[in-house]
Amino acid sequence: MKKNVVFVSNSVIDISVPIASFPIDSGKHQSTVEQLVITPGGNATTLFCGARLGMQMIALGNLGNDPMGSLWTSSLAVEGIDVSQMIVSADHRTSVTIVPASPTGEHVFLGASKSKNSGPANIPGNWSEIIANAGALILDGWSYKSMGPEVNEGAIEIAHDADVPVFFDPGPEILSIPRSWTETILSSSKVALLTYEEAEHLTRIKASPDVMTRVIRDMGADIVILKMGSDGIVGRSDLELVRQSGFNVTVCDTTGAGDSLLASVVFTYLHGYSFEEMVTLANGTGAACVQKLGAGVNAPSPEEILKVLTNAGISFSLESGG
């Protein structure tokens, strides 16, 4: 099976600023509690984590012809991530997001949507070939506004024609994306990953995670991963419902936990792990991520993920998949 993983989404730089607590009051001096982190964020966190798990990660999207764009590409290239097909544009600057984060893990994103409406209007021919030859395609909700809905729909059409599984994480943008578009992408996805709040918005019901995952799966996704934060994960496939509690770890910053977790889900899917193992590694990956400030370059390593699982009494091998 092909193991190349393609992520179609625009670039963003995160500037994570550690603060003592919220709220941030104007006119006052509030000291940071440690050094800030400047790193590629968003989809880059998934790309970093996937590369560290041993997958060939390929980034397709846009970035500005500016210093932040250079930082983005150089940081990912160092880790062996293929950024050669990114579109460098003089018309759109690389997006930057300020992320104040408190010691209890709370954070807020301050920034505009990534390079709004930066396209491309149609999938470039080289992108089409890369997607068709991939082992998996990842899409996220941020791309609706930044790249335009047609690009995502075109990528899915190519993936379907080539029998490439689609992994979709709508993220917090689900609140402002037309429901019809989200439902269309979801129905075309092999795996959908959502937080409980995102699932509640999508389904328009407030129910138990068990019910929520069933309703979302009925919308078309084969596998639903419901991210419950410190409460763990609930996953549903066609045959199984797996519930796992969160791990007891010290939370520094929850930024990027879902992005890292996404990489582990793709990894276990492509390598033939059981569904329970998929949920277990995802749960451990999220727990490993939240112990560090910032996302991106601070995405968890395999060693950090396995340490979480070992400390919880779980034996897990990253070599045992099919």
Least confident range of 98-112, 158-172, 298-312: 98-112
> What pLDDT, in 10s, does the model give residues 211-264?
999 999 999 999 999 999 999 999 999 999 999 999 999 998 999 999 999 999
Q: How far apart are CA 321 and CA 311, in angstroms?
A: 21
Q: Is the pLDDT of residue 128 over 90?
A: yes
pLDDT value of residue 90: 87
Q: Taking residues 74-93, what's their average pLDDT? A: 94
Q: Taking residues 287-305, what's their average pLDDT? A: 95
Q: Domains (ranges, CATH) in the chain?
A: 5-311 (3.40.1190.20)
pLDDT value of residue 117: 67
pLDDT value of residue 24: 80
Greater confidence, 115 or 131? 131
Angle of helix 179-187 relative to helix 149-161, nearest 10 degrees, comes to: 10
DSSP string of 281-296, one letter each residue:
HHHHHHHHHTTSSSSG
pLDDT value of residue 33: 61
Angle of helix 43-52 relative to helix 67-78, nearest 10 degrees, comes to: 20
> What pLDDT, in 10s, does the model give residues 131-160?
999 999 999 998 888 888 999 999 999 999
**b or e along 195-206 (b: 16 or more beta carbons within 10 Å of the residue's beta carbon)?**
bbebbebbbeee
| Average pLDDT for the chain | 92
Long-range Cβ contacts of 91-95 (<8 Å, 24+ apart): 91/118, 92/62, 92/64, 92/118, 93/64, 93/66, 93/68, 93/69, 94/11, 94/12, 94/13, 94/63, 94/64, 94/66, 94/68, 94/69, 95/10, 95/11, 95/12, 95/13, 95/146
Q: Is the pLDDT of residue 28 over 80?
A: no
Q: Is the pLDDT of residue 322 over 90?
A: no
Let me know how many helices (H) and strands (E) the chain has, helices first. Answer: 11, 13
Could you tell me how far CA 298 lies from the centroid of its own chain? 14
Q: Is the pLDDT of residue 310 over 80?
A: yes
Q: Is the pLDDT of residue 113 over 60?
A: no
Q: Taking residues 278-298, what's their average pLDDT? A: 96
Q: How far apart are CA 185 and CA 74, in angstroms?
A: 31
**Band of pLDDT at residue 22, cut at 50, 70 and 90:** confident
